[in-house]
Amino acid sequence: MAMFTISELKERISQFPKKRLINSPTPFQKLENLSRSFEGPVIYMKRDDLTGLAFGGNKSRKLEFIIPDALNKKADVILTWASVQSNWCLQTAAAAQKFGIKPMLLLFKTDELPDEHDGNLLLDFILDADIRIKEGEKGKVVKEVNAYEAIEELASEVKERGDNPYVVPIGGSMIGGSMESPLGAISYVAAFVEMLEQAKSQQVDVDYIVLASGSGSTQAGLIVGAKVLKDNIKVLGISVSAEKESYGKDVLTIAQDTAKALQIDIEISEEEVIILDEYIKEGYGIMNKEVSEAIRSVAIKEGIMLDPCYTGKAAVALFDLIRKGYFKKEDKVVFFHTGGTPVLFPYKKSLVNFLKR
Ligand SMILES: Cc1ncc(COP(=O)(O)O)c(C=O)c1O
């Protein structure tokens, strides 16, 4: 039994100010060829790669709630950090500029992802973001590299010149910096509602959601949405970087903070946060043959491009789970395409190496 109706939940979400940045609802479509090739389960895709801000992706949904908070706090600069090819940073730069706020990005490069003007870094440059580059750690998502000291220094630099910085933690996920509510996750509670309404209108009874999970708020928001509206949809987060013990706690914290912010009295247990970490393989952002082949397979069968760091890995997981019989043949599985496609380009060498015949 659902705890709330859809309109009651929408009402709670609407208490948080929102600025329109995306084309929504994003398409919810059946992947006919892919489903047929596995002979079940039936695979659907929620096309959050088509949100439309810059090159699209899940972060623009989060920014619809984060930008009003920054405007409300009279920010001149939005300061955030992540890896050099970060989708989060690109979409933050596009959203901030659109609302007259200067983006300042602390980006961590590695041998795998150097600071070449390619992919998202090229787009950050086009968007005239204030880009600062630092050395990162191979195979580690920047969440695991301590960026706080460097961010403090940059925030002081901004203040010294008389500007007001708004600091958002990586991915717009954990509460921290200038963000006092889990605004990123709240946007994904709304995305869950959007998907559920689309599924209902197509008479699709969803059993599972599969998504790439990195800093936590996309999964946390979907978990809260599923719990509040329809307890039986399972949300499988495919971790792209962190091990499930520690990462599961982060996602749980964000989910609990989200329920609290929406004034929803629910207990979310550790068991309800399902993280699969066996697909991280060589580490964050390290390409392998399986990811390359999953990207090619979805491109050929559906004409849809996945990305090397997130959705490509989640697709490897989805295909492997199907082959292992994790789902029933008649199950309906929704794959959330969370974007990231500009990052195909900086990975061109590995993609070509793994895919050439
Ligand atoms: C393309 C893409 N998919 C998925 C994710 C994961 O989303 P979250 O950080 O909310 O876990 C990210 C960002 O980290 C991303 O850029």
Pairwise CA distance, residues 66 & 180, whole Å: 10
Tens of pLDDT along the chain (357 residues) come to: 678 999 999 999 999 999 999 999 999 999 999 999 999 999 999 999 999 999 999 999 999 999 999 999 999 999 999 999 999 999 999 999 999 999 999 999 988 788 999 999 999 999 999 999 998 877 666 555 578 889 999 999 999 999 999 999 999 999 999 999 999 999 999 999 999 999 999 999 999 999 999 999 999 999 999 999 977 899 999 999 999 999 999 999 999 999 999 999 999 999 999 999 999 999 998 999 999 999 999 999 999 999 999 999 999 999 999 999 999 999 999 999 999 999 999 999 999 999 997
pLDDT of residue 58: 98
* CATH architecture assigned to 6-57+182-355: 3-Layer(aba) Sandwich (3.40)
| Pairing outcome for strands 332-337 and 234-239 | unpaired
- Both tokens of residue 130? 């204030």
Cα-to-centroid distance, 214 and ligand 1 (Å): 5
pLDDT of residue 342: 98
Q: Are 31 and 38 a contacting pair, CB within 8 Å?
A: no
Q: Which residues of 252-282 are buried (b: 16+ CB within 10 A; e: fewer)?
A: bbbbbbbbebbebeeebeeebbbbbbebbee
Protein residue whose Cα sits closest to atom 16 of ligand 1: 87
State the helix-helix crossing angle for 58-72 and 183-201, rounded to 10 degrees.
130
Of 4, 10, 8, whose CA–CA distance to 187 is shortest? 10
Q: Which atom of ligand 1 sits closest to the CA of residue 240?
A: 6
Protein residue whose Cα sits closest to atom 13 of ligand 1: 214
pLDDT of residue 241: 92
Protein residue whose Cα sits closest to atom 12 of ligand 1: 214
- Both tokens of residue 113? 């992802």
Correct CATH for 60-172 of 3.90.700.10, 2.40.30.270, 3.50.50.60, 3.40.50.1100: 3.40.50.1100
Cα-to-centroid distance, 56 and ligand 1 (Å): 12
pLDDT of residue 141: 62
Question: Catalytic amino acids?
Answer: 86
pLDDT of residue 114: 86
For the chain, give every domain's residue range. Answer: 6-57+182-355, 60-172
Backbone angles phi, psi at 139, to 5 degrees: 75, 0
